[in-house]
Structure 1
Amino acid sequence: MIKVKTLNYLDIFKEFPNLVVPDYQRAYTWNTDKIEDLINDWQEFLGNKNSKNISYYMGTLLFYLNKEKDKFEIIDGQQRLSSLALVYHCIHNNILKEQNLSHNQYTSAHNIVKNYSYLLQRKQELAILKEYDILNKLQFTIIVSDNEDNAFTFFDSQNNRGVTLGVDDYLKAYHLRAVQESNQEKMAKDWEAITFFARKNDKLELNLEYLFKDILFKSRQWKGQRSFPYKNKDNVLREFQKQTHKIKKGEQNYRLFANQNNMRFHSLEYQEDNSLVMLSRERIVDTNHFPFSIRQPLFEGHNFFLFTQKYHSIYKFIFFDKHPENSDLNSVRKMYDDIYNNDMSNYLKEYIQLCLVMYFDNFGVEYIVKALQHFDFYIGSIRVEKYYVRSEVVKNSLKNAKNNLLDVIQGAYLPSEIFNFIKSQENISKIYTNKQKYINDKGEYRNNVIERYIERVCKSYKKEKNKFENRKIWLV
């Protein structure tokens, strides 16, 4: 049996008086940043003149009715409910009647004390929120199951598969609030169309969550030779929520930043009379050519949605759309599919996808076959050198090089600058020329995965395996 209902926060414990955090649940892990974001969001919500008659939606809570213990166990939602309990106590100096949430882990106790201390520092602001009756405006969808297996199946489908509680859903909800009501429905439908297409075609890599975590987040955060942040949920949300720029209510236009995508002129031409004429770019309006740059500052609302639409379109265009048989993009796809198949490390597949998207953003299809060959030469050296490929290996290849390859792609004026940089990396060339990196003293490949990669590359280039050490000269 599964029941679904909608309740505001103050009524949850009246409806479910025996609500507990089960022992198997993880600790309470919310930090002060999350509490700060929540309070700031409430303040922004209450600043909206229309907020008086509408609720603030806090998402879905999932409970399991344990009939043996006569308890409702929180499967999903304990972080939010525990945080709201702290807010309530800070405002009213007591707890809600029937509320009986308890935590028995050190981490939970530490975070509860820390977050409560932070709330006390903002007590004046909380008093104002109390006047606006914020806690009574908080709305939840409650799902209750009396079958534990069904409850956890539902929970896993929500969180692990990214169906409704993924990064992309949080971003959509956040940025829709900054879009004019007249455009919200269209923006939401366009977003959902992308998600539906990915599910319908069973293409996990076409999900927006993959785009944000493995393409956009990395392209924007993996800079220089510093320590790169992990692509976890909190970091991704911070980049595309907290780090986006606020806009004035009703704002319809967004600043553009200088890049090759919004240049008015592309070249100078001498005329017969020796006069100079600046030649204009064609006015292109398809989504691949929105005048954005992948590392540019972002504004909340419309700008964020168009930015997302552009880079999802580019990613899909390169790796999934069909292209004419004699086109450069078809050649790229064939080489990519042949070499970066299911036998290739996922970390390296994500790496080369990232490079190609950033390259396309800068140069379109100009020399794109050559770009793929050079990126594979650079990235393939990792596969040849390392017995096992882990996530840190990719980061180290960026941090330990003379220059970060992603920075080189982003900053290049001409494709040749990227190609020359890659060919100048002597440490990369030595990996190929030093056969001991991939062949032992008996003349055997050190690893079957390495051997199969070499076979795929040689087949793609139509070269013999024993010539693999000369791979650099295969680059044109």
Structure 2
Amino acid sequence: MSNSMEESQKECQYKSESPHKLHQQIISVAKLLNEDSLTIPEYQRPYKWNQQNIASLFNDIKTQSDKPAYRLGTIVLHSSENDEGNIVLNIVDGQQRTLTLMLTVMAIIKYYNLDDSSQPESEQTIREVLGNLTQSVPKLAEHQKFASDISVYNLHTNFQEILRVISRGELSIDHIDFLLHKCQVVIFILEDESEAFQFFDSQNSRGKELYPHDLLKAFHLREFDTDDQELKAKTVAYWEKLDDDKLAKLFAHHLFRIKHWSQRKSARSFTKNHIDVFKGINLDKDHLPPYAQTLLITKHYIDQYNASSDRVIDKQIMPYPFQLDQTIVNGQRFFDMVQHYHTLIKQIKQAPVYDATLRKLKDTDCHAIMDTDSSCCSVVLSNHTLNTRASAIIHTLNTYSEGHRKGDKYSRNLFDNALIYYIDKFGTQDLSQAIEAIFIWAYSMRLTEYAVRLSTLDNTAKSYDGIFRIIQQSISAKEILVTNKLSINKTAVDKNNKPINEDADSASKHYKIYKLFKHLNYLV
């Protein structure tokens, strides 16, 4: 019995056990859809799966089709009698998946014209795969009632989308066979309606809700190209050391935003609906597309180089050349990628600062923005010593007292992500000049906008003339450095940046970012 099954049983320790033969059973999709008593109750929420959900389901089916079985989740049912005295199984949890599976079978029947008894001999294979489903699913669909216009619209739209997928050959007969006979669900049937909802709540609400990265971890563990448990444990060790909040921020605040913003897409929040962004290709599959050949060559060369006996002598290890723009390699490389970018982000956020005597500075304010001290420190970032202007920028951003404000946090996120993206693509080439260009671009919105909100951050980041698009399309660092670092009108800025303390002297009463712009000669 699987761990997920055991955990589900522990969640459901009720006095009464269901007499139904399917209770606590792991069954195939075909067996589920052959159950003619399944019913969508009136109290169910509308059917809201969209084309993205459809694509994600079919992608999972295709990527897992070489496995002996694939679990699609849990279906919670409430057993009751209808007005005619017949047993009906009300779907309490699992409506979206069940209806989508029904739509898929209906689309298969329509595409292969299996409702026509005079179908050609060539369609016998799909008829054998479907079996009784050619009769049971149309009957099952016929007696479902939907009061919501949302449900009716989404059902029609998704049916047409599934029909298009099948007609394009993206869901082959082998895939259909795997879906119906190797994909499984866990069934729980409860006699008492209140117990059914209590169980549903325990499945979906007890403890902390699963993060999107939890789902990604499960997916990529399944995609490992080996059953070597020791290698799996070693690969995932770094991930396991990070708490959930750190992993959530890594994906939501950095990796997801960079990948979306570079494509001029919105990236305000990272949810379970976005996890496909971090699903890529399994290089151990047969018939790889041409674009995957470079990934395949790179993977095997790196593995072979690092496994060579020569490494025992020269002690050299070649890191995998990750790029945020590249297609993600499923399995082991995904976990290596997470470690790589978490380390890079730590280097940027915790870059050491030294004074003139090479003594490390910690929380001391940067004095470079004072007219009397043009170079108070030097910053080392990615083993590269920055010039005095870039050092002043990094040191100020790390220490200025207003940095906790929401608008400043948004600006810092914009700056950090653009810098991560730059280093990811061009390394430390012209890094000081790049930091200055990125700072002026990212913090201009902080000075020119009265209030910086999440929408401000998102719109600035994905804008056509934004640095993310420029980096994405550039083939040399020079293209980023020649972007317009426009000076800002001091009068307009002053309206949004009142002195912090009207009674203070002129050297200390202004917002530190304002003074840094002035020190770098970007206020006119």
Q: Give the alignment's TM-score, normalised by structure 1.
A: 0.64
Structure 1 residues 127-174: Cα deviation after superposition (integer angstroms, max 9, x where no partner): 93598464232223457782756744652468xx652xx433443444
The question of whether the paired residues in 1 share the 8 Å contact of 2:281 and 2:327 is answered with yes
User: What is aligned with 1:273?
Assistant: none
User: What is aligned with 1:425?
Assistant: 486
| Secondary structure of 1:182 counterpart | coil
User: What is aligned with 1:3?
Assistant: 12
The question of whether the paired residues in 2 share the 8 Å contact of 1:171 and 1:240 is answered with yes
The question of whether the paired residues in 1 share the 8 Å contact of 2:461 and 2:467 is answered with yes
CA offset at residue 83 of structure 1?
Answer: 0.8
The question of whether the paired residues in 1 share the 8 Å contact of 2:447 and 2:514 is answered with no
Q: Within 1, Cα distance between the matches of 2:149 and 2:269? A: 26
Change (3 A) 1:150 1:228: same
Q: Within 1, Cα distance between the matches of 2:514 and 2:62? A: 62
CA offset at residue 230 of structure 1?
Answer: 6.6
| Secondary structure of 2:242 counterpart | helix
CA offset at residue 364 of structure 1?
Answer: 5.8
Query: Among residues 121, 146, 151, which one is paired with 2:195 in the alignment?
Result: 146
Greater mean deviation of Cα atoms: 139-148 or 168-177: 139-148
Q: Among all aligned residue pairs of Structure 1 and Structure 2, give the percentage whose two residues are the same amino acid.
A: 21
Query: Among residues 54, 57, 70, which one is paired with 1:35 in the alignment?
Result: 54
The question of whether the paired residues in 1 share the 8 Å contact of 2:47 and 2:155 is answered with no
The question of whether the paired residues in 1 share the 8 Å contact of 2:256 and 2:267 is answered with no
- Structure 2 residue runs without a partner (length 5+): 1-9, 14-23, 110-129, 300-313, 355-359, 362-378, 383-390
Query: Among residues 239, 247, 251, which one is paired with 2:283 in the alignment?
Result: 247
Q: Within 2, Cα distance between the matches of 1:419 and 1:126? A: 47
Query: Among residues 251, 273, 293, which one is paired with 2:323 in the alignment?
Result: 293
User: What is aligned with 2:156?
Assistant: 113
Q: Within 1, Cα distance between the matches of 2:176 and 2:424? A: 49
Query: Among residues 327, 336, 342, which one is paired with 2:398 in the alignment?
Result: 336
Equivalent pairs, count: 408
Residue 404 of structure 1 aligns with an amino acid whose one-letter code is G
- Structure 1 residue runs without a partner (length 5+): 258-281, 446-450
The question of whether the paired residues in 2 share the 8 Å contact of 1:19 and 1:72 is answered with yes
Q: Within 1, Cα distance between the matches of 2:452 and 2:39? A: 45
CA offset at residue 349 of structure 1?
Answer: 4.2
The question of whether the paired residues in 1 share the 8 Å contact of 2:44 and 2:92 is answered with no
CA offset at residue 58 of structure 1?
Answer: 0.9
Structure 1 residues 392-428: Cα deviation after superposition (integer angstroms, max 9, x where no partner): 3224334557x421244564855x8756646x223xx
Q: Note if 1:434 corresponds to 2:492.
A: yes
Q: Within 2, Cα distance between the matches of 1:363 and 1:127? A: 42
Residue 520 of structure 2 aligns with an amino acid whose one-letter code is L
Residue 220 of structure 1 aligns with an amino acid whose one-letter code is K
The question of whether the paired residues in 2 share the 8 Å contact of 1:60 and 1:140 is answered with yes
Structure 1 residues 254-283: Cα deviation after superposition (integer angstroms, max 9, x where no partner): 3459xxxxxxxxxxxxxxxxxxxxxxxx99
| Secondary structure of 1:297 counterpart | coil
| Secondary structure of 1:306 counterpart | helix
Change (3 A) 1:38 1:29: closer
The question of whether the paired residues in 2 share the 8 Å contact of 1:13 and 1:19 is answered with no
Q: Within 2, Cα distance between the matches of 1:154 and 1:337? A: 44
CA offset at residue 229 of structure 1?
Answer: 6.9
CA offset at residue 292 of structure 1?
Answer: 2.0
Residue 492 of structure 2 aligns with an amino acid whose one-letter code is N
Q: Within 1, Cα distance between the matches of 2:266 and 2:92? A: 33
| Secondary structure of 2:227 counterpart | helix
| Secondary structure of 2:424 counterpart | helix
Q: Within 1, Cα distance between the matches of 2:434 and 2:176? A: 60
Q: Within 1, Cα distance between the matches of 2:55 and 2:322? A: 31
Change (3 A) 1:150 1:58: closer
| Secondary structure of 1:59 counterpart | strand
| Secondary structure of 1:434 counterpart | helix
Residue 107 of structure 1 aligns with an amino acid whose one-letter code is I
Map 1:20-419 onto structure 2 (within 5 A). Answer: 20-21=40-41, 23=43, 25-31=45-51, 34-39=53-58, 41-43=60-62, 45-46=64-65, 48=66, 51=67, 54-61=68-75, 74=91, 76-89=93-106, 90=109, 91=130, 92-95=133-136, 102-120=145-163, 122=166, 128-129=173-174, 132=177, 134-141=179-186, 146=195, 148=197, 151-152=200-201, 154-156=203-205, 163=210, 166-183=211-228, 186-187=231-232, 190-191=235-236, 194=239, 197-199=242-244, 204=245, 206-207=246-247, 209-223=248-262, 228=266, 233=271, 236-241=274-279, 244-245=280-281, 247-249=283-285, 254-256=296-298, 285=317, 290-319=320-349, 325=360, 328=380, 332=394, 335-336=397-398, 338=400, 341-345=403-407, 347-362=410-425, 375-398=438-461, 403-409=465-471, 411=474, 413=476
Change (3 A) 1:130 1:323: same
User: What is aligned with 1:265?
Assistant: none
| Secondary structure of 2:48 counterpart | coil
The question of whether the paired residues in 2 share the 8 Å contact of 1:323 and 1:329 is answered with no
Q: Within 2, Cα distance between the matches of 1:30 and 1:73? A: 23
Change (3 A) 1:408 1:128: closer
Q: Within 2, Cα distance between the matches of 1:434 and 1:119? A: 54
Q: CA RMSD in A?
A: 5.1
The question of whether the paired residues in 1 share the 8 Å contact of 2:259 and 2:325 is answered with yes
In our comparison, the structure showing a higher alpha carbon Rg is 2
| Secondary structure of 1:249 counterpart | coil
Q: Within 2, Cα distance between the matches of 1:3 and 1:467? A: 58
CA offset at residue 17 of structure 1?
Answer: 5.6
Change (3 A) 1:391 1:255: farther
The question of whether the paired residues in 1 share the 8 Å contact of 2:445 and 2:452 is answered with yes
Change (3 A) 1:61 1:334: farther
CA offset at residue 366 of structure 1?
Answer: 7.9
Residue 221 of structure 1 aligns with an amino acid whose one-letter code is H
Q: Within 2, Cα distance between the matches of 1:301 and 1:179? A: 4
